[in-house]
């Protein structure tokens, strides 16, 4: 099997369920969101697909089609790791953006799964056929809107809800904690609650908020500080009992992530007897 083409399709995606509110509306628009489907085609008719937001960065498609396509056409898509390594080792002038690297990787795994007739999780060695799920907030503009959204999610059967702050550009730790207090009061003690402040806090704010969340029995505090402050994360994990989730966007991919582990800058899934993802009872069934 050989790759014959790589194509990008950009379109406006409109959610049929809700209008974006708060910071998500500012970031992603009113209802329509620029989106991209990446297609990796093969000579056997098996096609790999993956999706990617392109808000504010439509150059991703151009990079894929002009820089990566010539390097992918003619390759055997089953050699997923070899292709990943070759793309990663490109010079800095042609090195793919992290999102592009991941998008191509997903396409290749999609091809491998279709060729073998197995879902990827079974190919890699299955452990379960259901995964726990929690609801993630849109970033509502008011505390009242956050509480309303969380209660609606609970009514739908979710046992966990993650809240995002009001402002994606500036830290407002006191207001965030006020929202967390209102949330706990509204949903009760049996619903798992989490806070993801976009990495906006400094060290002092992160420590203060973390202590408040411990009092509210929150399940975790996610990405409270900028991703480059590994020392700060290490100290925060040492000072707090609540599990700290590390940054989701870390430069250097798997080559820099081990530093967080070595420095104990993130917490494991279960720490000091406190479960994290396994507390959610609404599950998504895998194929």
Residues 115 and 189 in one domain: no
77 and 112 both lie in a single domain: yes
Cα separation values, 241 from 80, 87, 131, 137, Å: 39, 40, 25, 24
- Are residues 200 and 182 located together in one domain of the fold? yes
Count of CB atoms within 10 A of residue 177's CB? 18
- The model's confidence at residue 32, banded by pLDDT at 50, 70 and 90, is low
**Domain housing 48:** 3-121
Tell me the three state secondary structure of residue 3: strand
Q: Please report, for residues 55, 68, 83, 103, the alpha-carbon distance to residue 94 in angstroms, rounded to integers and kept in the order given.
A: 21, 9, 15, 16
Looking at the whole model, is its pTM more than 0.85? no
Do 116 and 162 share a domain, yes or no? no
Mean pLDDT of 132-155: 88
Q: Provide the token pair at 135.
A: 């609801």
Write the DSSP symbol of residue 187. H
Least confident of 5-14, 109-118, 204-213: 5-14
- The answer to whether residues 197 and 267 belong to one domain is yes
Number of domains in the chain: 2
Residues 46 and 78 in one domain: yes
**155 and 277 belong to one structural domain:** yes
* Averaged pLDDT for residues 227-251: 89
How much of the chain, in percent, has pLDDT values that exceed 70? 80
Q: Is 197 in the same domain as 106? A: no
Instruction: Return the exposure string of 65-91: e unless at least 16 CB atoms fall within 10 Å of the residue's CB, then b.
Output: eebbbebbeebebeebeebbeebeeee
pLDDT of 73 > 80? The answer is yes
Domain end (from 62, 91, 121): 121
């Amino acid at each position: 099997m050989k790759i014959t083409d790589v194509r990008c399709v950009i379109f406006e995606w409109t959610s049929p369920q809700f209008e974006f509110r708060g910071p998500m509306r500012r970031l992603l628009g009113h209802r329509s969101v620029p989106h991209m489907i990446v297609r990796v085609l093969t000579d056997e008719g098996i096609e790999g697909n993956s999706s990617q937001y392109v808000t504010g960065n439509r150059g991703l498609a151009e990079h894929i089609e002009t820089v990566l396509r010539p390097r992918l056409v003619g390759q055997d898509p089953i050699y997923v790791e070899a292709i990943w390594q070759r793309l990663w080792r490109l010079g800095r002038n042609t090195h793919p953006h992290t999102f592009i690297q991941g998008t191509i990787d997903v396409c290749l795994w999609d091809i491998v799964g279709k060729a073998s007739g197995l879902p990827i999780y079974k190919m890699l060695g299955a452990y379960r056929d259901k995964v726990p799920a929690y609801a993630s907030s849109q970033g509502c503009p008011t505390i009242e809107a956050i509480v309303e959204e969380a209660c609606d999610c609970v009514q739908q059967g979710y046992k966990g809800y993650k809240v995002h702050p009001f402002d994606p550009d500036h830290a407002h730790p006191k207001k965030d904690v006020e929202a967390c207090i209102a949330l706990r009061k509204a949903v009760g003690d049996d619903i798992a609650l989490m806070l993801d402040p976009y990495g906006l806090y400094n060290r002092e704010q992160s420590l203060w908020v973390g202590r408040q969340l411990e009092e509210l029995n929150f399940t975790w505090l996610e990405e409270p500080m900028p991703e480059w402050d590994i020392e700060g994360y290490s100290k925060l994990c040492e000072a707090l009992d609540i599990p700290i989730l590390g940054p989701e966007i870390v430069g250097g991919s798997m080559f820099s992530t081990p530093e967080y582990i070595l420095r104990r800058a993130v917490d494991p899934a279960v720490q000091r007897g406190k479960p994290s993802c396994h507390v959610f009872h609404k599950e998504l069934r895998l194929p």
